[in-house]
C-alpha cells in the first residue's frame, strides 16, 4: 500500500469540505482523527492512500464517497437516558403540561445517533402513561433524524449489543423494554418502536418538511459547529416549534449569544429553553 502522507494543503481543503457539508469544524491538529476515521474507507473505495481518498472526496461527482466520508467523520457517542435530567423533566414537567393534548405529542430527536435518545424518550412516554392512566390519550410521535445513514439503520433496527445495553439502562428498563435476540443482543420491543420513526436530515438543510413539534432534543451535536451555524440551526428550531415549545440542548451546550427567541427555564437540575 502506498504510504503517501496527507499534505497540509489537502488537510485544509478537507476541513473546508467537511464544514460546508455538515457543519463539523475540525481544529488545526486533528489530522490523526481524519486518518483514523478515513483509513477504513480506503479498501472500500479502492484507493491506495489517504491523499488519494481526500482528493477524490473533493470531487463533486463522488456522491457515494462524499456521503461515506461525512458519515465516517461524525462522532456518534451516545447512551441511554443520557444525563438523566432531560428524561426526568419530561415526566415531571413537560408531559404533565401536555397531558390533555387532543393530538399526539410531537417530539423530535434531531441528532439521534444510534437510537438511544429517541428510544429513551419513548420509554419515558410509556412510563408516564403507565403511572397516570388516561393522560396523553393520543400518545406521542417521536421522530429521530441524523446525517449518518449508518446510524439511521441502527435506529430502525433497534438491536443493541451487551456493551451498548450496559450504558445508562437500569435492570428494570432492560427487562421491560427489550426482548432478547441471542448472543447478548436485545431489541427494543414493538410498542416502544411504534412510537418512533426515523429519517435522514442534515441540520444544515431546511426543516420545512419536518412539520411542527412540541419538544425538540438537539443534544451533543452543536458543540461541533461554528457559532454562526449554531445560531442558524437554533433559529430553524424556533420555526419548527409550536408556541411555548421546548428545546433541550446538551449538558455542556448553551444558547448564550445565539438567539433571543427562547426563554431559559432553570430546572433543578438542568436547563431547558422555551420558545417565547
Ligand X SMILES: C[S@@+](CC[C@H](N)C(=O)[O-])C[C@H]1O[C@@H](n2cnc3c(N)ncnc32)[C@H](O)[C@@H]1O
Between 111 and 126, whose beta carbon lies closer to ligand X? Answer: 111
> Exactly one of 162, 202, 226, 252 binds ligand X (CB under 6 A); which one?
202
Q: Which stretch binds ligand X (CB under 6 A): 20-28, 29-37, 58-66, 135-143?
A: 20-28
The reply on whether position 219 binds ligand X by CB under 6 A is yes
Q: How far is the CB of 69 from ligand X (least distance, A)?
A: 13
The reply on whether position 111 binds ligand X by CB under 6 A is yes
Q: Which stretch binds ligand X (CB under 6 A): 48-56, 99-107, 144-152, 258-266?
A: 144-152
> Exactly one of 124, 141, 148, 259 binds ligand X (CB under 6 A); which one?
148
Q: Which stretch binds ligand X (CB under 6 A): 45-53, 94-102, 171-179, 218-226?
A: 218-226
> Exactly one of 55, 75, 129, 254 binds ligand X (CB under 6 A); which one?
75
Q: Which stretch binds ligand X (CB under 6 A): 49-57, 110-118, 167-175, 241-249?
A: 110-118
> Exactly one of 22, 34, 53, 272 binds ligand X (CB under 6 A); which one?
22
> Exactly one of 146, 152, 216, 275 binds ligand X (CB under 6 A); which one?
146
Q: Would you list the DSSP string of the chain?
A: ---PPPPHHHHHHHHHHHHHHH-PPP-TT-HHHHHHHHTTHHHHTT-SSHHHHHHHHTSTT-HHHHHHHHHHHS-----TTTTSHHHHHIIIIIHHHTTT-SS-EEEEETT-TTTHHHHHHHHHHHHHHHHSTTSSTT-EEEEEEES-HHHHHHHHH-EE-HHHHTSS--HHHHHHHEEEEETTEEEE-HHHHTTEEEEE--TTS--GGG--EEEEEE-SSGGGS-HHHHHHHHHHHHHHEEEEEEEEE-TT---TTT-SSEEEEE-SS-EEEEE-
Provide the binding-site residues for ligand X, judged by CB under 6 A: 22-24, 74-78, 82, 111, 113, 117, 146-148, 151, 202-204, 219-221, 250
Amino acid at each position: 500500500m502506498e504510504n503517501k502522507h496527507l499534505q497540509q494543503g489537502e488537510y485544509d481543503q478537507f476541513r473546508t469540505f467537511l464544514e460546508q457539508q455538515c457543519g463539523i469544524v475540525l481544529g488545526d491538529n486533528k489530522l490523526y482523527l481524519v486518518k483514523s476515521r478515513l483509513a477504513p474507507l480506503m479498501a472500500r473505495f479502492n484507493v491506495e492512500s489517504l491523499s488519494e481518498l481526500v482528493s477524490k472526496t473533493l470531487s463533486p461527482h463522488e456522491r457515494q464517497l462524499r456521503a461515506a466520508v461525512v458519515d465516517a467523520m461524525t462522532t456518534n457517542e451516545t447512551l441511554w437516558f443520557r444525563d438523566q435530567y432531560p428524561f426526568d423533566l419530561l415526566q415531571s414537567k413537560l408531559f404533565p403540561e401536555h397531558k390533555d393534548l387532543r393530538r399526539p405529542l410531537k417530539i423530535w430527536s434531531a441528532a439521534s445517533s444510534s437510537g438511544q435518545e429517541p428510544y429513551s424518550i419513548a420509554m419515558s412516554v410509556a412510563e408516564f402513561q403507565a403511572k397516570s392512566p388516561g393522560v396523553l390519550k393520543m400518545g406521542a410521535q417521536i421522530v429521530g433524524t441524523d446525517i449518518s445513514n449508518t446510524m439511521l439503520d441502527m435506529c430502525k433496527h433497534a438491536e443493541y449489543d451487551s456493551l451498548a445495553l450496559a450504558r445508562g439502562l437500569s435492570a428494570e428498563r432492560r427487562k421491560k423494554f427489550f426482548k432478547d435476540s441471542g448472543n447478548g443482543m436485545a431489541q427494543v420491543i414493538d410498542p416502544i418502536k411504534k412510537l418512533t420513526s426515523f429519517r435522514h436530515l442534515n441540520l444544515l438543510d431546511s426543516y420545512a418538511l419536518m412539520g411542527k413539534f412540541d419538544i425538540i432534543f438537539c443534544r451533543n451535536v452543536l458543540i461541533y459547529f461554528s457559532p454562526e451555524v449554531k445560531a442558524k440551526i437554533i433559529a430553524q428550531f424556533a420555526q419548527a416549534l409550536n408556541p411555548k415549545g421546548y428545546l433541550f440542548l446538551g449538558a455542556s451546550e448553551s444558547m448564550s449569544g445565539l438567539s433571543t427567541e427562547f426563554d431559559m427555564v432553570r430546572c433543578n437540575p438542568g436547563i431547558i429553553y422555551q420558545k417565547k
